[in-house]
Amino acid sequence: MSLKPNNNETRSGWIDVSVPLREDMAVFANEQKLRIEHRASMERGDGSNNTTLHIGVHTGTHLDAPRHGIANGKTIDQMPLDIAIGPARVIEIKDTRTVRPEELKQYTFKRGERVLFKTTNSERCWKTDNFVEDFVDISPEAAQVLADAGLSLIGLDYLSVRAPASQTGTHKILLGAGIWLLEGLNLSAVSAGNYDLICLPLRIVNNDGSPVRAVLRPVI
Ligand SMILES: [Zn+2]
């Protein structure tokens, strides 16, 4: 099943930039597929509908807490609400392979800023339920630039900040700098600019990540 572009915009201006959760949806590399177990079903004659989700925390649109890559890093339940809610800048990346320092040079980053990278992933990768291995990711060199800039949150429009075949380093550099990673966004309905962001994770104790509902509203 192919996916429709995400253009779920509300009257209040909030735009849904999260991807729908479905059993068939793509998951990163060897992650467990989402399973939705309908334990009780009124269609089957039960008195109610009741569902159990079998879901990896890095499924669909989700947050990586520093604990994902850093042994004593902050856990998802320790995420300050002030990072999950607030201004965010969407930057459009032209490079079709990876985010590199050369392309970032034209931007000035502020400490504590939230930055979401819109790449060609948004148009390309969510159209299929197969995991796209060669998605546009963030190079370790660009990660170092972003870590040095002291950002609070970085978003990318596919399931990880680093493709599986690439050298490692990006996660460790960003999470080691205490940056929260918002992965699995679909930014096809938004363009570069300034927005308000809400991306609240579930309050899972001592955990490395959580699925989120992420929404953006243009700042006028
Ligand atoms: Zn993740």
- The model's pLDDT over 124-163, given as tens digits with 9 standing for 90+, comes to 999 999 999 999 999 999 999 999 999 999 999 999 999 8
The C-alpha atoms of residue 179 and residue 192 are separated, in whole angstroms, by: 21
**Cβ atoms 64, 208 nearer than 8 A:** yes
Beta strands in the chain (DSSP E): 15-16, 35-40, 50-54, 62-64, 85-92, 98-99, 114-118, 137-138, 153-156, 180-183, 193-201, 209-218
d(CA 57, ligand 1 centre) in Å: 7
d(CA 8, ligand 1 centre) in Å: 24
Listed by start position, the domains of the chain span: 15-19+56-218
| pTM of this structure | 0.94
d(CA 161, ligand 1 centre) in Å: 8
State the chain's mean pLDDT as an integer: 94
Using alpha carbons, select from 117, 84, 97, 93 the residue that is nearest to residue 197: 84
**pLDDT, tens digit, 9 for 90 and up, residues 57-104:** 999 999 999 999 999 999 999 999 999 999 999 999 999 999 999 999
The C-alpha atoms of residue 84 and residue 152 are separated, in whole angstroms, by: 10
d(CA 105, ligand 1 centre) in Å: 26
Active site residue 68: yes
- At 164 the pLDDT is 85
Using alpha carbons, select from 208, 203, 204, 206 the residue that is nearest to residue 183: 208
d(CA 40, ligand 1 centre) in Å: 31
**Cβ atoms 90, 114 nearer than 8 A:** no
Instruction: Indicate which residue of 38, 58, 62, 68 is catalytic.
Output: 68
Radius of gyration (Cα) for the chain, nearest Å?
Answer: 17
Whether the per-residue pLDDT at 4 is higher than 50: the answer is no
Q: What are phi and psi of 105, to 5 degrees?
A: -55, -30
Ranking 9-13, 26-30, 85-89, 175-179 by mean pLDDT, the lowest is: 9-13
Q: Which residues surround ligand 1, an ion (CB under 5 A)?
A: 58, 64, 183
- At 12 the pLDDT is 86
d(CA 58, ligand 1 centre) in Å: 4
- At 5 the pLDDT is 45
**Cβ atoms 131, 159 nearer than 8 A:** yes
98 vs 18, 141, 177, CA distance in Å? 22, 10, 20
Query: What is the architecture of the domain spanning 15-19+56-218?
Result: 3-Layer(bba) Sandwich (3.50)
Using alpha carbons, select from 148, 151, 140 the residue that is nearest to residue 179: 151
